Structure 1
Amino acid sequence: MTDPGLLVADVPTLRSRLDAVGYLADDALATALLLAVRMRQPILLEGEPGVGKTEAARALAAALDTPLIRLQCYEGLSSAEALYEWNYPRQLLAIRLAESRGESLRDADLFSEDYLLPRPLLAAISHPGPRPAVLLIDEVDRADDEFEAFLLELLADAAVTIPELGTRTATVPPVAVLTSNRTRDLHDALKRRCLYHWIDYPDTERVAAIVSKRVPESARWLATRVARGVARLRARPDLTKPPGIAEAIDWASALHALGVSVLDTDAADRTLGAVLKYAEDLQTVRRAGLAELVEAEADSDA
């Protein structure tokens, strides 16, 4: 198993590696991620949608040159769906083959490694190393209380229990990154097992830098205008879903794809669906007019 200290030397090194894979992290986030790696403790990243929580886990895996194993949480997610499943078609085939030979199969024969299909949690626990995998448990707030309770064993002991096969303990424990949009409060028992970091929406200058990094083919002026435009939209109190960093990147990509050289009201209107994802928000902004937004952009360039 690789010594955690050898995975990344310090915070500046981790920031540099994250930057190299297209993710701009500030010192606070880089420190939190470094601690998660060094302490082998799960980290819970919270923040509003679109601030880069999921991308932080992706970038960390890339920076450590290790696999990313992602579990997307949703309402009704069961432990079995997250952990493993049995290859029922193959089991049925084995039963029929045995019957054709006049043989019988024991449960131990059917419920063995040969028929086990790992899902994300078991895959992360079973990762052979030498570097730990990054386990992304995405939007854990969408799952229910029962699933949270199930996660406790995994997060506390880097172990999971399969009734038919017993407890599996990780040889190389994964770096577990949990994300939450705070659609509901997580239980204290889960939080106690995690480091915690809140990711704020960055300032306009940083958003422009992120857009430039993620859409390198776009001009710097376009990234700046997009960042300021998104900031103006986020300042509106009447939007159902204010845009985030992901929408800023989408908007810059859309404008570049159209070959836009001037961000005027026409260009903004044609690409507004890249930055606003609710019909009501599109109607609200178009009804108010885009001139103020574009004029603000022009003023910012002066």
Structure 2
Amino acid sequence: MGESAPATADQVGSPAELAGLLERHAYLCDEGLATACFLALRMGRPLFLEGEAGVGKTELAKTLALVLGAPLIRLQCYEGLDASQALYDWDFPRQLLHLRAAEAAGARDVARLEGELYDRRFLLARPLLQALETAPSVLLVDELDRADDEFEAFLLEVLSDFTITVPELGTIRAERPPVVVVTSNRTREVHDALKRRCLYHWLEHPSFDREVAIIRRRLPEATGRLAARVARAAQRLRGADLLKPPGVAESLDWTRALLALGVRDLDPGTAAVTLGAVLKYREDQRRVLGGGLDALLASSLAGGDADA
């Protein structure tokens, strides 16, 4: 199965095969993540991914949609998100236009007119309803930890039977439930009830070798030496007690910035002027610059320093 022939959940035969399919779309995962993802597909369970920002949680859902040839439907969570914003709403301007047009045409049947106002054509499907009505699809519930407890309870109800009720229309049930990926940066604890409904996996930052491989896979124009320098620096920054340690996303951004400058290696001077690509807090930049970039970049990159 190549990129021109997307797989279905039933066609993926093993975690190793799924890892290979993800790699074809430039997503490199380890055995643990591949197994969790495979089991979620095979068992029809949501996959709950936790980990620090930038480790590849959202990117996995995007890549999985490519592998399955299914649309990605994303629900970005935030404080104050409620059911109507995630599920559906009525198109009031269109309803009003319909009402005025009916009145202008001399409509007198009030009951019939009221019924027409709550026809399916006036329903605005938000991400959750879109996912229920689209088959196949991949539903990404991103950063659930940012939402309130009330929304989390509502989401659990939807994920339990993939059914919602619109009072004016009745019950809408997914003919084929979407593949669901839920992510959390763990800014707060998600309740056990929702976690029990899902398969759980914690995403760690990648090892040095894997991070080099990710950079070179995503940015093939980067030399082996540059990828190794960036990966080693990122690994050291993660151990520097920063407010926001860099994730793989920041490593890739840093490499892109260096490539845009035509840089083939990472030295203290270049690192200093491009630090904003990898560290997004002033306090973190001050701490790193105060400690000296020479020490940060000095490392033995045996086997990863080749200018390949």
User: For this structure pair, what is the TM-score category when the shorter chain's length is used for normalisation?
Assistant: over 0.9
- Once residues 264 and 205 of structure 2 are traced to their aligned partners in structure 1, the CA distance between those partners, rounded to angstroms, is 27
1:118 and 2:125 are equivalent in the alignment: yes
Preserved CA contact (<8 Å) 1:228 1:297: no
Cα shift at 1:278: 0.6
Structure 2 counterpart of 1:191, which letter?
Answer: K
Map 1:13-52 → 2, pairs under 5 A = 13-52=17-56
1:259 and 2:266 are equivalent in the alignment: no
Secondary structure (helix, strand or coil) at the match of 2:236 reads helix
1:283 and 2:286 are equivalent in the alignment: yes
* CA distances 1:136-176 after superposition (whole Å, capped 9, x unpaired): 00001111111011112221101122222222110111011
Preserved CA contact (<8 Å) 2:224 2:305: no
Secondary structure (helix, strand or coil) at the match of 1:218 reads coil
Map 1:1-302 → 2, pairs under 5 A = 4-6=9-11, 8-103=12-107, 104=110, 106-127=113-134, 129=135, 132-237=136-241, 239-296=242-299, 301=305
Cα shift at 1:224: 0.9
* CA distances 1:100-157 after superposition (whole Å, capped 9, x unpaired): 1222453321111111111110000001x3xx21100000111111101111222110
Structure 1 counterpart of 2:292, which letter?
Answer: G
Cα shift at 1:17: 0.6
- Once residues 184 and 173 of structure 1 are traced to their aligned partners in structure 2, the CA distance between those partners, rounded to angstroms, is 28
Preserved CA contact (<8 Å) 2:62 2:72: yes
TM-score (norm 1): 0.93
Q: Which runs of 5+ in 2 are unaligned?
A: 1-6
* CA distances 1:29-87 after superposition (whole Å, capped 9, x unpaired): 11111111111111101111111111111111111111111100000001100111211
Structure 1 counterpart of 2:176, which letter?
Answer: V
- Once residues 280 and 8 of structure 2 are traced to their aligned partners in structure 1, the CA distance between those partners, rounded to angstroms, is 44
Cα shift at 1:221: 1.4
Preserved CA contact (<8 Å) 1:46 1:182: yes
Cα shift at 1:261: 2.3
Distance 1:74 1:95, change over 3 A: same
- Once residues 226 and 115 of structure 2 are traced to their aligned partners in structure 1, the CA distance between those partners, rounded to angstroms, is 62
- Once residues 194 and 264 of structure 2 are traced to their aligned partners in structure 1, the CA distance between those partners, rounded to angstroms, is 49
- Once residues 179 and 265 of structure 2 are traced to their aligned partners in structure 1, the CA distance between those partners, rounded to angstroms, is 44
Identity fraction in percent:
54
Secondary structure (helix, strand or coil) at the match of 1:155 reads helix
Preserved CA contact (<8 Å) 2:9 2:68: no
TM-score (norm 2): 0.92
**RMSD of aligned Cα (Å):** 1.7
Structure 2 counterpart of 1:285, which letter?
Answer: V
Cα shift at 1:288: 2.1
- Once residues 203 and 151 of structure 2 are traced to their aligned partners in structure 1, the CA distance between those partners, rounded to angstroms, is 24
